[in-house]
Amino acid sequence: LAAGALWIAAVATAFTVILVPYDYQNGGYWTPLERASYYSFSRLGWALSVGWVVFAVNRGYGGLITRFMSLKFWIPLGRLTYCSYLCHMLVANYVFRLGTASIHYDGLWDMYVHGIVPVLLLTFLFALAMTLFFELPAARIEAMFFSRKAVEQKKDRKMSSEPPAYIKF
């Protein structure tokens, strides 16, 4: 019952954070109090909503969300995005320092073509290389180490649960 109420509150808060600024973004006027309230509490509300989703999925209150977020296709995507997070600042620094002139705004299309697209492409290219050459081998070594340890622990538990050989039933 409490989990259901928290799900409703989290979804309502997330939709509120997303939909409330619609009028303001389309030219509507907000008073300073409305702006201050929204900008003060929207980030907190969003963080609490996402935090509830993470907590609920982790603790088994997620239902369909848990099944969706546990699908196998998220694993390589998660590794790739983590590696892109690690290397994107280096790539952005490299791309923006290649130019001989100072960086200035020439328009959205120019910024998109000469700034965003090259950084994204190079970032995910380097992230793919990092995933293939570092992350996957490290994960395999870790899996081999922990699987051996788990097998040994299982053998130890099995052996300790058996009665000694001199006791006959």
State the SS3 of 12-55: HHHHHHHHCCHHHHCCCCCCHHHHHHHHHHHHHHHHHHHHHHHH
Q: Which residues contact 111 (CB under 8 A, 6 or more apart)?
A: 105
pLDDT tens sequence for the chain (169 residues):
788 999 999 999 999 999 999 988 888 898 999 999 999 999 999 999 999 999 999 998 888 999 998 899 898 899 999 999 999 999 999 888 887 777 777 788 888 887 889 999 999 999 999 999 998 899 889 888 887 766 666 666 665 555 555 555 5
**Domain residue limits, the chain:** 2-69, 74-161
Q: How many CA atoms lie within 13 A of 102 on its CB side?
A: 1
pTM of the model: 0.62
